[in-house]
Structure 1
Amino acid sequence: MSYLTTHLDNCKLTLNNRLILPPMATSKSELNGEVSQGLLDYYDEKSQGGYLSLIIIEHSFVVPQGKASKGQLSAADDSMVEGLKKLANTIHKNGSKAIMQINHAGSATNKDITGGCGNVGPSPIVNPLIKQEVPKELSKEEIKEIIESFKDAARRVKNAGFDGVEIHSAHSYLLNQFYSPLTNKRTDEYGGDILGRIKIHLEIIKVVKEAVGEEFPVLLRLGACDYMEGGTTVEDSKIAALEFQKAGIDILDISGGLCGFVAPGHAREQGYFSEITQAIKEVVSIPVILTGGITEAPAAEELLALGKADLIGVGRAMLKDSLWAKKAIESLE
């Protein structure tokens, strides 16, 4: 029996196999963040045949101040919903489920990208991965406004017909900046120990669930480790993962923290975040996604067989070869 080709049912989201396309920025959206024909064509090609059970759309910004790059998708305005409906429908007609990821860049952006908005962060510390200017420290009132922007973006995702929404807290973006002690030096309730540093996450999860309802899947992408001295550790992530499960997260999507999407020193390994996903699986009962360096179907199969994860994300290999999923599934069947 193939582990990769078995279905997964976590009650809210039934998937016909364990293979997913993780979010990867394409920069194919219109300048204002609207869905472009190029973006529709890209996801049409990647989802052909429904061999990928789930496609997690690249990150979309929740407010203009949180835009990470030119050509990034937007979930920041109700006017975007019609285009997003076309995107969800494009993926659905090919037989895959579609999740949309929502994000705020925080200090990982600049005024040229945001249209004049200065970058912000939990503390006035330069982003160690995407070195921009020193960010303005967010006030509590501004934090509340950002939390509401995630809520509004999640509502738009549901209205557009997606199968779920994913909250982005990885790769040195804003929620990851709150998560890491290297970029979060706050002395109020949004800083300090791991429970303080995930307070904003828990508040976002709460309002997102209020906006979309209990039956709509909510995922969270966690930059679980920074791989830097004084940064986040596996033990931090185990505590956080359990809290996220208690708050109602349905699936955890594990990646890197301030280091980005590659694990330093492990980049040649198939599934180089597997030690982290295995550790997290030991403390939670919800499904865990593993991505990172997986380019071979037998490696994906083995990682599942060893209990390292519940779902396998294949990104760069799918970027290079849109038929990768078809070949992998057929070879295992």
Structure 2
Amino acid sequence: MSYLLKPLQVGTLKLNNRLVMPPMATAKAESDGRVSQDILDYYKEKSEGGNISLIIIEHSFITPEGKASKNQLSVSDDDIIEDLRKLADVIHQNGSKAIMQLNHAGSAAEKEVIGTMPVGPSAVINPRKGNIPRELTSKEIDDIIQAFYDAARRTKEAGFDGVEIHSAHGYLLNQFFSPLTNKRKDEYGGSIHNRIRIHLKVIEAVRSAVGDDFPILLRLGASDYMEGGSTIEDSQIAAKEFEKAGIDILDISGGFCGYVVSGCTEQGYFAQLSESAKKVISIPVILTGGITEAKAAEQLLADGKADLIGVGRAIFKDSTWAQRAVESLLTI
């Protein structure tokens, strides 16, 4: 049987195959972050046929200060829960599972969007944005951890199947993870164990919000691929700690390098990172990055590079991609 078509049970989450639609920003929400008809239509179309077992909704801001861009989806207020329920329902009606991705942009936010000065672990330049944020106080860090708790509670109340904590692509938690942007001298800075302290507190908060039987994913920007940045060794240490803390699925992507690895043209840009994570943890690992062909996804699974495959841009461009991929593999 095809590797991609094998079902997978992760706690209470039952997936009918290994195909994941990773989070991709659409800028289709209302200006205040509410669910729009455009977003409902978009996810209805992408989930049609139920060929994608798991759909991770685009990153959604947990506080207005953590908003990454205009028309980004919000999970920052209790008033939005019923709207979010419509979004979960649209995906469920087509037979896919729905995960909400929670994010704080940190220094990747823009003053024009949030109305205040962006914040970060340290007042140093953001390598992707070029701006210098204001350094967060310990009290503000506690408030952000609480915001993750509240957003996770809303996600569960809205009927989603799980929640993903975003620590990739140079956003706030990734800024704490990376030595490029974390120059703190307190308990949150220095060693890798200190740099993931906020992650462990966020995982604990989210778990207390959703209970033991609700899946928690974490998307990790596992390497910056930049001099002085985070490394594979950092991400292996982090992966082990995240598994111990109760993460159910680790979703591997890039750090300050973003969604690509410079000079890499093979499908599965981050296969080296997902494979290295799999060597040290037993929970399932998702691999994304430039995968456009079903046979490439199949080979990555066969080679043990990951347990689940995220196909982003190909599905973004062509809503029938998943159906055709599944059909092509049914004869294997």
TM-score normalised to structure 1 length: 0.98
Letter in 2 for 1:289: I
Matched with 2:101 is: 101
Matched with 2:325 is: 328
Aligned ranges for residues 56-67 of structure 1 at < 5 Å?
56-67=56-67
Letter in 2 for 1:80: I
Give the conservation status (yes or no) of the 8 Å contact 2:29–2:36.
yes
Identity rate, percent:
67
The C-alpha deviation readout for 1:264-299, integer Å capped at 9, x for no partner, is 221x21001001101100000000000000000000
Q: By how many angstroms is 1:188 displaced?
A: 0.5
Matched with 2:315 is: 318
In structure 2, how many angstroms separate the alpha carbons of the residues matched to 1:110 and 1:84? 25
The C-alpha deviation readout for 1:25-66, integer Å capped at 9, x for no partner, is 000000000000000000000000000000000000000000
* SS of structure 2 residue aligned to 1:307: coil
Letter in 1 for 2:128: L
* SS of structure 1 residue aligned to 2:188: coil
Matched with 1:289 is: 286
* SS of structure 2 residue aligned to 1:52: coil
* SS of structure 2 residue aligned to 1:107: helix
Matched with 1:120 is: 119
Aligned length: 330
Letter in 2 for 1:3: Y
Letter in 2 for 1:222: L
Q: 1:176 aligns with which of 164, 171, 174?
A: 174
In structure 1, how many angstroms separate the alpha carbons of the residues matched to 2:55 and 2:169? 19
Q: 2:295 aligns with which of 269, 292, 298?
A: 298
In structure 2, how many angstroms separate the alpha carbons of the residues matched to 1:210 and 1:235? 29
In structure 2, how many angstroms separate the alpha carbons of the residues matched to 1:199 and 1:59? 22
Matched with 1:152 is: 150
The C-alpha deviation readout for 1:293-332, integer Å capped at 9, x for no partner, is 0000000000000000000000000011000000000000
Unaligned ranges ≥5, structure 2 = none
- Asked if 1:55 corresponds to 2:55, the answer is yes
Q: By how many angstroms is 1:5 displaced?
A: 0.3
Matched with 2:225 is: 227
In structure 2, how many angstroms separate the alpha carbons of the residues matched to 1:40 and 1:230? 42
In structure 1, how many angstroms separate the alpha carbons of the residues matched to 2:225 and 2:59? 23
Letter in 2 for 1:224: A
Q: By how many angstroms is 1:122 displaced?
A: 0.2
Q: By how many angstroms is 1:12 displaced?
A: 2.4
Letter in 2 for 1:99: I
* SS of structure 2 residue aligned to 1:46: helix
- Asked if 1:200 corresponds to 2:169, the answer is no
- Asked if 1:76 corresponds to 2:76, the answer is yes
Q: By how many angstroms is 1:263 displaced?
A: 1.2
Letter in 1 for 2:130: K
Aligned ranges for residues 81-92 of structure 1 at < 5 Å?
81-92=81-92
Mean CA deviation greater in 288-297 or 2-11 = 2-11
Unaligned ranges ≥5, structure 1 = none
Give the conservation status (yes or no) of the 8 Å contact 1:21–1:314.
yes
Matched with 1:210 is: 208
In structure 1, how many angstroms separate the alpha carbons of the residues matched to 2:12 and 2:179? 34
In structure 1, how many angstroms separate the alpha carbons of the residues matched to 2:246 and 2:263? 34
Letter in 2 for 1:20: V
Letter in 2 for 1:211: A
* SS of structure 1 residue aligned to 2:55: strand
Give the conservation status (yes or no) of the 8 Å contact 1:177–1:184.
yes
* SS of structure 1 residue aligned to 2:222: strand
Runs of 4+ in 1 over 6 A off after TM superposition: none
In structure 1, how many angstroms separate the alpha carbons of the residues matched to 2:174 and 2:124? 13
Letter in 1 for 2:202: I
Q: By how many angstroms is 1:126 displaced?
A: 1.7
Q: By how many angstroms is 1:130 displaced?
A: 2.0
Matched with 1:275 is: 272
Q: By how many angstroms is 1:11 displaced?
A: 2.2
In structure 1, how many angstroms separate the alpha carbons of the residues matched to 2:169 and 2:261? 11
Q: By how many angstroms is 1:131 displaced?
A: 2.3
In structure 1, how many angstroms separate the alpha carbons of the residues matched to 2:110 and 2:226? 24
Query: What is the alpha-carbon root mean square deviation over aligned residues?
Result: 0.6
TM-score normalised to structure 2 length: 0.99
Give the conservation status (yes or no) of the 8 Å contact 2:11–2:213.
no
